[in-house]
Amino acid sequence: MRRLLPLFSLLYITSSYAYDLDYKMGVGSYFTGAKGKIVYVQESFENSYANADLSTDSQFYLWGIVNLKNNKLPKIRFEYTKMVLEGDSKAHLESADPNIQKFIDDYINNNGIIDLNDQNWNSYLQQNIYDLSLYYEFFEKRAFPSIGAGIGYKYFDYVYIMDIHYVPGMQFGDRDNSGAPNAYLTSRYDIPSINIGFEGHAKAYLFGDSQMYDWQLKMDLIFDFDKETSGGLEFGYREQYFSLQGSDVENVTGDMSYKGIFVGGVINFK
């Protein structure tokens, strides 16, 4: 977030002097869990994996849109989501290193008392997700939904740890970051008579070895405070999927999905 906010702030400040603009902001809580499979590809634990099932109470999200009122310039949308999840992961440990494999086997075959495999272990995942999208939107303020299309960039960092507490100090996991360009689509439909709007966003990355998508649908209830300001509440559903594979990763491959509702507040400035 620190890397993108200075750029976003500079863009906003300089453009506000040069162009007539409006901007929107939203902030709220994202109620989600995380499920998927994480496979270790580092040689010492090659073919080891963890099936994760993590949960959380709520996660923080923030978004902003800058609309430069010039048809030649795209709109700019920034999003940030912070997720901290805990739960259980079922592990399968296997190593190409014979010394490490013997160490694992000794525990697995210790009179049937301790079995490192096929057990649930306490796990932790923290992920920060940043999205920056540039897009053009058409058919606004018409009797049918607007349509927007553009390109974006998704950047994220993550820390995943599975604590094998039978073996003091033994942890399975990874810490890394990655980023990828994506196609971006959006649509919105307003019903002014009852102050309700419906909106959807979709991002997809289908290049290289990895696959990622992120989509959300929402409804908001917006009221005018004065001629320049309006605000209200938003409610929606968001689903994200990350499949990190091949040359895009170093230590682990993974298929993780996040699904859940979000609730927040919105403010618009004209």
197-210 pLDDT tens trace: 999 999 998 666 77
Per the prediction, the chain carries an average pLDDT of 80
Instruction: Record the tokens describing residue 187, joined without a space.
Output: 């649509």
pLDDT at residue number 16: 47
162-183, pLDDT tens digit by residue?
A: 777 665 556 677 777 777 889 9
What are all long-range contacts of 100-103, with beta carbons under 8 Å and residues at least 24 apart? 100/44, 100/45
pLDDT at residue number 174: 74
Q: What is the CATH number of the domain that holds 164?
A: 2.40.128
User: Domain span at residue 20?
Assistant: 5-269
Q: How far is CA 240 from the centre of its chain?
A: 6
At 150, the pLDDT band (50, 70, 90 cuts) reads: very high
Of 233, 256, 237, 253, nearest in space to 245 by CA: 253
Highest mean pLDDT among 120-124, 139-143, 204-208: 120-124
- What residues contact residue 260 under an 8 Å CB cut-off, 6+ apart? 30, 31, 32, 33, 237, 238
Domain count, the chain: 1
